[in-house]
Amino acid sequence: MNRQNRPSRADNTAEYARRRAAYERQKAREAEEARRREIEKQRRAARRRHSLRVFGGRLLVGVVIFLLLAAVAGVLFWIHFNRTHPAEEPRVVRYTYGETAGASLTEASARQGGVLYTDFHELAAWLGMTVVGDADRIRFVAVPETNAGTTDSAGSGREESVTFYPASDRATVNGQDVRLAAPAVLLGEHLLVPAGFVSEYMCGVTAAVTDGAVAYARTEGEPLAFRLKDVRPLETIPEDDYSALGGTTGQTDPPTPPAPVTTGGEAPVIAEPAMPAVTFTADLSAYEEFMNPADRDGYLLLVNNTSTLDASYLPDDLTDLADTRKDGRATQKMRRTAAKALEAMFIEMRACGYTDVSVTSAYRSYEYQNTLFNMYTANEMAANPSLTLSQAQAITATYSARPGTSEHQSGLCCDMHNLPSADRAFAQKDAYKWLCDNAWKFGFILRFPEGKEDITQISFEPWHYRYVGRAHAYAIHESGLCLEEYLAQR
């Protein structure tokens, strides 16, 4: 190229500057575009956030309004429903006894399986009858004072009585087994029996039944008695024929009772071993009526995990025990007959050379038993922190009864020994061996014997003695049974 046609240095510099400026402008435009895109992006995000806030606020307001409307609707519906459908009192059947306002039973309790029931405990109390027995067998006796100068329906002059067996339609009237229209029902501590029993088997009392009420009245001039006339005995009724007694076909036979023996006109009882002559070293003639009570079945109350006493149960004849341990503890108490029989046993024990045995515990209230049980449970949990409360209570229950399940509340038992505290080591003492051989003579049994833990649910307690009266104490002593087994077989 001709030297003259070559670009000058100045021309090169200008071209470079021009290109440089064009490049800078391009970069600026790109930067501006990127900045605008970023701003637009931020604006779009802001608009979305705003839309979400607005939507969320509106949704929240909508939910609140909906809940308020639902609440208002619910209140209005409740008011409307209760105005048009007021809550009804549960229907009851009311019972009156003579001129006295009686108790009542709910419809569900009073009418079962189409049969009207009555509370026989309430009726018996009004009639002045005595009650003997436990949850398996309850006997009601027309007391002689009420029936002075009267005889039973057979004219034998014996005591008038009826025995019911809860959950069974069998009953024993004046020694004769019969069937009821429906099974007797144990409701708490009260026995419900078909109301028809009164008109069918009882003399001296009438029942007027109306819709929702039963009124009992004494028949003027007629003594209280139980009758068997015109009633077919149990064994003469075929298994499928209950119509004669107003029963329902298809029922099953009640449990077959043990072979009975009749003694002195009393209701049938299990045959018991002949008792040998009872002799003592000391003169205990003044105590015979307590060791061998006339009311021989009156002290067979069963108290355990399934046959309980409520918190209000309190014997009304508690008597101080002179042989309470003299170590500052309160004088212990038992029911009068049991206390006097125990006094006789201590007199004989001392006469035989056993002078160091004393009573450490007898009657306990429901509240005190509850305190003891909770204290022992707390001790178990302190000794083994891994135990739960229920586990600790289960352990405690093997040696201390839960409140309501303790015989001590009955006033018919006591703990006695010659150790600093109750311990199975007492079983190695000569005094314990003497008690094993002789306690029955005074009407006492070892209540929780060794080998019966599965039945009594209480571990072996060689110090715990229970009063049942001499006849039953001897039968239990000879049979080797615990009280639960003995009562189950009677």
Residues involved in catalysis: 461
Tokens representing 471 are 């006849």
The strand ranges marked E within 195-264 are 202-203, 205-210, 213-218, 225-226, 260-261
Tokens representing 345 are 């046993």
Q: From residue 233, how far is each of 176, 194, 305 by CA, in Å? A: 7, 18, 36
Give CA–CA dist 396/375, Å, rounded. 10
Query: What sign results for the dihedral spanned by CA atoms 287, 292, 298, 303?
Result: positive
Tokens representing 172 are 């024993």
Query: Which residue is listed with tokens 């040998």?
Result: 276
Strands 130-134, 190-194: pairing kind: unpaired
Give CA–CA dist 167/190, Å, rounded. 13
Tokens representing 121 are 């405990």
Read off φ and ψ for residue 431, nearest 5 degrees: -65, -35
Which of 179, 160, 168, 325 is closest to 254 using CA atoms?
168
Q: From residue 143, how far is each of 125, 161, 219 by CA, in Å? A: 11, 9, 17
Which of 159, 183, 187, 185 is closest to 173 using CA atoms?
159
Give CA–CA dist 238/438, Å, rounded. 48
Q: State the maximum Cα–Cα separation within the chain, in Å, rounded to a whole number.
A: 171
Give CA–CA dist 318/422, Å, rounded. 23
CA 320 to chain centre: 30
